[in-house]
């Protein structure tokens, strides 16, 4: 489905996770893409950054070593080797469905105390400042082979889980028209992967505190639409249950607004799907600026969205819907220009189910489109049914 690590993982978040790892284990790591570009780097030693990879002659040997490693990696096994400049390194391929997305490196360390005669000769050969070079050598960590093998097992499992979760989030974004059964199956998979990630994090013991932040980020992905950064249906299911309980306890009912973009297919056909994605992102920024902190903006599917308004009566929700309609109509969207939206509004009734509420608000949205679009329509039995 994809051959790029960038498509399924937020590299900034991955860099932050690796920063946590480095603080815990103090081992330099990096991830190299198929174009030999470093996507992630953390903890690189001065002996490499200031000497080996800085001076032209020694840098050329580093680049050639990076290329040679790619050719010798087989399957999903890791490869341990000594770099041309005498440091230990380990690498393994990051795979998705048998395709290599990138290479994970752990290196710039020694298995035993340094051979100072070797490094002195090397400094003289390449023209390094000897005192500065030996000072950098003193900073290189010494890691036993047993510890290396332990870290490799952890990194393989952790990155494997992150790749799988990233792939599933991308599939969810592309499969906007999937059935409810497919949605539930996907959620089960995400929960299974999260449990596996929890188990992996528990196994690292001393790393638990550093990894807790990374786990929170992964869990947030499970309830967030990756394109628009709005919530998805899973988050709606979680919050609407709480609101339903509030209604049953005698507190004020909540309302919902459902809306979609008028003639959105024309935007995609005329300007491309990339511009269509930009329109969806811009629209969500506009709507978030008009809603309250407690309101929940959810991408329902495609260009269709839902706003859950906690403790909000219908006569409060309708003016908000109209304000959103007007602001969107007046907004200038880059490339696409002006767009409009149609909106349906409904209030939850204490005697009904959530499914019944969704059917009523969906019917209101349908009538808004039938009446010519770019308007707000209230649930069928409300005294104020259409605005505009």
Which of 301, 298, 312, 372 lies closest to 345 in space, CA to CA?
A: 312
DSSP, residue by residue, 311-336: T--HHHHHHHHHHHHHHHHH--BTTT
Written as six digits, the tokens of 349 are 């009734």
Residue 374 CA to residue 343 CA, distance in Å, equals: 8
Alpha carbon 151 to chain centroid distance?
Answer: 24
Count CA within 13 A, CB hemisphere, residue 47: 26
> Considering only CA atoms, which of 146, 175, 204, 184 is closest in space to residue 299?
175
Question: Chain-centre distance of CA 310, in angstroms?
Answer: 27
Cα(106)–Cα(363) distance, rounded to whole angstroms? 57
Nearest CA-CA partner of 80 in 71, 72, 89: 89
Rg (CA), the chain: 27
Residues noted as catalytic: 303
Pairing of strands 296-301, 79-82: unpaired
The Cα 237–Cα 243 span in angstroms is 10
Instruction: Please give the helix or strand (H or E) that residue 386 lies within, else none.
Output: strand 386-387
Q: What is the DSSP letter of 51?
A: I
Spatial CA neighbour of 218 closest among 199, 238, 190, 239 = 190
d(CA 243, CA 235): 13
What is the bridge-based pairing of β-strands 376-378 and 88-96? unpaired
90 burial (CB, 10 Å; 0-12 / 13-18 / 19+) is buried
């Amino acid at each position: 489905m994809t051959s790029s690590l960038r498509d399924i993982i937020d590299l900034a978040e991955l860099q932050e996770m690796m920063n946590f790892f480095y603080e815990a284990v103090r081992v330099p790591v990096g991830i190299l893409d198929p174009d030999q570009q470093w996507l992630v780097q953390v903890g690189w030693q001065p002996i490499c950054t200031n000497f080996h990879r800085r001076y032209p002659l020694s840098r050329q040997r580093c680049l050639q070593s990076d290329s040679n490693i790619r050719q010798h990696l087989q399957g999903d096994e890791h490869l341990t080797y000594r770099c041309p400049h005498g440091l230990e390194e380990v690498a393994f391929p990051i795979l998705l469905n048998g395709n290599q997305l990138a290479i994970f490196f752990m290196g710039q360390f020694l298995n035993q105390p340094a051979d100072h005669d070797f490094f002195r000769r090397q400094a003289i050969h390449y023209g390094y400042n000897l005192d500065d070079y030996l000072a950098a050598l003193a900073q290189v960590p010494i890691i036993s082979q047993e510890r290396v093998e332990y870290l490799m097992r952890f990194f393989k499992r952790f990155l494997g889980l992150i790749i799988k979760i990233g792939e599933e989030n991308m599939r969810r974004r592309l499969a906007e028209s999937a059935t409810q059964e497919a949605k539930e199956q996907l959620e089960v998979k995400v929960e299974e992967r999260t449990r596996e990630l929890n188990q992996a994090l528990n196994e690292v013991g001393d790393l638990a505190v550093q990894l807790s932040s990374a786990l929170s980020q992964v869990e947030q992905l499970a309830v967030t639409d990756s394109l628009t950064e709005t919530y998805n249906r899973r988050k709606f299911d979680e919050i609407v249950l709480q609101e339903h309980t509030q209604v049953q306890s005698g507190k004020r009912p909540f309302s919902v607004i459902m809306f979609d973009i008028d003639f959105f297919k024309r935007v995609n056909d005329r300007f491309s799907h990339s511009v269509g994605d930009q329109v969806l992102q811009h629209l969500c920024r506009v709507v978030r600026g008009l809603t309250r902190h407690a309101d929940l903006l959810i991408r329902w599917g495609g260009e269709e969205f839902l706003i859950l308004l906690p403790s909000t009566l219908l006569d409060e929700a309708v003016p908000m819907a109209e304000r959103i309609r007007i602001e969107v109509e007046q907004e200038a969207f880059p490339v696409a220009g002006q767009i409009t939206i149609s909106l349906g509004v409904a209030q939850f009734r204490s005697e009904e189910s959530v499914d019944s509420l969704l059917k009523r608000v969906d019917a209101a949205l349908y009538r808004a489109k039938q009446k010519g679009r770019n308007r707000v329509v209230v649930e069928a039995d409300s005294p104020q049914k259409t605005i505009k």
